[in-house]
């Protein structure tokens, strides 16, 4: 039985019995007589906070647990099983055992729900990245006199693609070195939105709501929305990944840590801004004026191509996990009491 609210001296309650839902008003006295008192449990149940509900139950005597479980709907029993399984192992395991004794189908449905939820969480984790914010690495305030365009809205940024670069500088270049070089070159701020250093750390460059300055330009173009940088998220990896003897250093290979971070960041951005994986571009693929670019270099380019495939597969697995979780939720929610 679930208490929905108070109506004068009575309580508005709902209950499931024999597969039928009951809804009505009873006196507080009667409710207290019928249901063992477990205010924390009732509250957590009403809030659908299943781990908390399971933990409240676990503090009671076995007979009290059984009595309270008998007042729950089959769907609540399935979700309480989920609550126990998603908590760290502890004394509330006996709650799931009590549910299995009372209603085995609910116990199975709750276990399936937990498996589906765990699979979904592990797919979602593949889209998470840790980015070191500008404040944390000590970015200088931008010099807005030197080319500075904010996107019109912070909530629906007109982002359409991702462009990957190398710095064409040494692999060990720090984010501060790069910032200093770019500002000396006349940029208002870091021209890229993300910088991936040799150790794989990802730094926030130019804020995402500011148009970047990395993709290139069309001569005589006055329309900012036609600019190659408009809508393009810029990612740069430190290092020179192209063989060019005239540069005075041998070409680098991106480190494994850089490649791992690049892949996660690509998947994250594609997911976060609802982009197509096909919108991941190498700088050399961007339509712009001027002589063709080799950026991001021969040793990085194929990983950018691979990034599209990996992001596409990750999105597909995420969608499948979401569908499976919804199906399990549907099964658990429509369970009937035996
Ligand atoms: Zn480039």
Asked if residue 167 and residue 69 are part of one domain, the reply reads no
pLDDT for res 153: 78
Asked if residue 308 and residue 286 are part of one domain, the reply reads yes
Asked if residue 225 and residue 143 are part of one domain, the reply reads yes
Cα dihedral across residues 261, 262, 263, 266: positive or negative: positive
CA of 174 to the centre of ligand 1 (A): 17
CA of 36 to the centre of ligand 1 (A): 68
Nearest to 216 by CA among 203, 204, 232: 232
pLDDT for res 246: 65
**Per residue in 287-317, is it b (16+ CB within 10 Å) or e — as a string?**
eeeeeebbbbbebbbebbeebbebbbebbee
Q: What residues are paired with 164 via a beta bridge?
A: 235, 282
CA of 187 to the centre of ligand 1 (A): 15
Average pLDDT over the chain, rounded to an integer = 90
Rounded distance, CA 191 to CA 200, Å? 19
Asked if residue 63 and residue 44 are part of one domain, the reply reads yes
Asked if residue 136 and residue 121 are part of one domain, the reply reads no
Asked if residue 115 and residue 41 are part of one domain, the reply reads yes
Domain assignment of residue 25, yes or no: no
CA of 60 to the centre of ligand 1 (A): 64
Rounded distance, CA 157 to CA 258, Å? 27
The environment of the single-atom ion ligand 1, i.e. residues with CB closer than 5 A, is: 165, 283, 295
Asked if residue 259 and residue 310 are part of one domain, the reply reads yes
pLDDT for res 177: 96
CA of 20 to the centre of ligand 1 (A): 65
CA of 3 to the centre of ligand 1 (A): 62
**Is the pLDDT assigned to residue 32 strictly greater than 60?**
no
pLDDT for res 37: 58
Domain assignment of residue 336, yes or no: no
**How do residues 54-100 score in pLDDT, each as one tens digit?**
988 888 888 889 989 998 999 999 999 999 998 877 777 889 899 99
Domain boundaries, position 42? 35-125
Instruction: Choose one of 125, 143, 172: the last residue of a domain.
Output: 125
Asked if residue 250 and residue 167 are part of one domain, the reply reads yes
Asked if residue 118 and residue 137 are part of one domain, the reply reads no
Domain assignment of residue 337, yes or no: no
Rounded distance, CA 311 to CA 313, Å? 5
pTM as predicted: 0.79
Q: What CATH code is carried by the domain that includes residue 223? A: 3.40.80.10
CA of 201 to the centre of ligand 1 (A): 19
Asked if residue 247 and residue 162 are part of one domain, the reply reads yes
CA of 294 to the centre of ligand 1 (A): 8
pLDDT for res 176: 97
Domain assignment of residue 22, yes or no: no
Rounded distance, CA 313 to CA 123, Å? 11
**Is the pLDDT assigned to residue 48 strictly greater than 60?**
yes
CA of 329 to the centre of ligand 1 (A): 46
Asked if residue 195 and residue 139 are part of one domain, the reply reads yes
How many domains, the chain? 2
pLDDT for res 219: 86
Domain assignment of residue 112, yes or no: yes
Domain assignment of residue 8, yes or no: no
CA of 255 to the centre of ligand 1 (A): 18
pLDDT for res 79: 95
Instruction: Choose one of 90, 125, 160: the last residue of a domain.
Output: 125
Domain assignment of residue 157, yes or no: yes
Q: What residues are paired with 16 via a beta bridge?
A: 21
Asked if residue 265 and residue 138 are part of one domain, the reply reads yes
């Amino acid at each position: 039985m679930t208490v929905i609210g108070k109506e004068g001296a009575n309580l508005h309650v709902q209950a499931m019995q024999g597969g039928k839902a009951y809804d009505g008003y009873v006196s507080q006295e009667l409710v207290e007589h019928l249901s063992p008192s477990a205010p924390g449990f009732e509250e957590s149940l009403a809030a659908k906070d299943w781990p908390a509900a399971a933990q409240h139950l676990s503090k009671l005597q076995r007979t009290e647990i059984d009595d309270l479980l008998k007042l729950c709907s089959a769907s609540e029993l399935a979700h309480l099983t989920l609550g126990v399984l998603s908590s760290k192992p502890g004394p509330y395991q006996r709650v799931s055992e009590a549910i299995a004794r009372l209603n085995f189908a609910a116990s199975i449905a709750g276990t399936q729900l937990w498996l589906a939820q765990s699979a979904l969480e592990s797919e979602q984790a593949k889209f998470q990245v840790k980015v070191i914010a500008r404040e944390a690495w000590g970015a200088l305030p931008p010099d807005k006199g030197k080319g500075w365009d904010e996107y019109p809205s912070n909530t629906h940024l007109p982002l359409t693609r991702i462009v990957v670069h190398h710095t064409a500088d040494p692999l060990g270049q720090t984010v501060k070195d790069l910032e200093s070089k770019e500002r000396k070159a006349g940029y208002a701020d870091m021209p890229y939105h993300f910088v991936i250093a040799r150790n794989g750390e990802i730094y926030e460059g130019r804020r995402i709501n500011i148009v970047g300055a990395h993709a290139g330009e069309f001569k005589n173009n006055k329309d900012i929305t036609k600019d190659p940088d408009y809508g393009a998220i810029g990612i740069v990896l430190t290092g020179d990944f192209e063989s060019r003897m005239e540069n005075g250093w041998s070409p680098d290979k991106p480190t494994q840590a850089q490649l791992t971070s690049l892949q996660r960041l690509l998947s994250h951005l594609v997911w976060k801004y609802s982009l197509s994986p096909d919108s991941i571009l190498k700088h050399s693929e961007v339509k712009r004026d001027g002589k063709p670019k080799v950026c991001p270099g021969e040793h990085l380019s194929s990983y950018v191509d691979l990034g599209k495939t990996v992001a596409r597969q990750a999105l597909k697995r995420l969608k499948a996990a979401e569908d499976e979780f919804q199906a399990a939720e549907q099964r658990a929610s429509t369970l009937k009491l035996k």
